[in-house]
Structure 1
């Protein structure tokens, strides 16, 4: 789980746009074009940890938990939907937690993913692709409860593989609101 202030390195809430400064992942769209207009925002989850902004392009951007109120007010002012969605990556990353996951829990998790259209082969491929990176990341973090998309973004921030970032965003964007 990222530190509450980690994402605060750079979001400014303007009248009709957000400006990101020094975003944590170099492959993020806001690194090339730091201004995200209201029209480019599909929905937000201010209550997320960390709070999420989902773009019309299917990207999930994060802001500091310290800016939750600002994001909520911005969304209300512009009538941007505030939606909490299921976290697919939390389930995909479960095997990399610093705890023993029982067979029953793993079967429940994988069943949840299959109900959302993931085949067993796709689940295995996703875990294999991020496994070494997430294992190394969590050796430092020692998270035993929740690894999610924000952790994957942080873990891959130094990777030169921009394809990994956008692949992860595509998987996250498959989450249907329950």
Structure 2
């Protein structure tokens, strides 16, 4: 009986320990998967794309790649030719407001033998540009506020006209029934 109870106690402790280890391992693997969930989703999507590419004929794939023109350089600004291997997307300049760019770009050919381009801007010009940028931001903010104010006024006028027109109709019908207001009595 003592030996049996010792074995039972040993089995109980070992099962408890192993279950705790299993729970800890599952918890860690869940944290790892949750942390890298986006990466795993991208890997899964990439594997699906690779499988689908196997069904695409090689001639069609080559025509598609040639149509994308990855070997041509993309122009960042006027005269500023960038890197090859991308697709250029043009958008309106005012579509996305940006902070002032600290990188100054100079157009022209980039060659080691050519001298560095001269920076003709001075601190006074930078200060004036900063002032103009602030004024422009203030004007844009004022225009947005003015637009909201005008929309609110128009909404108030429209709601007032609807109420006023229904009141005037009811008064005119009352007047005409009772013989007031020039109606036939």
Query: Which structure is higher in RCO with an 8 Å CA cutoff and minimum separation 6?
Result: 1
Bigger fraction of residues in helix:
2
TM-score, normalization by structure 2: 0.16
In terms of Rg, which structure is larger? 2
TM-score, normalization by structure 1: 0.16
Bigger fraction of residues in strand:
1
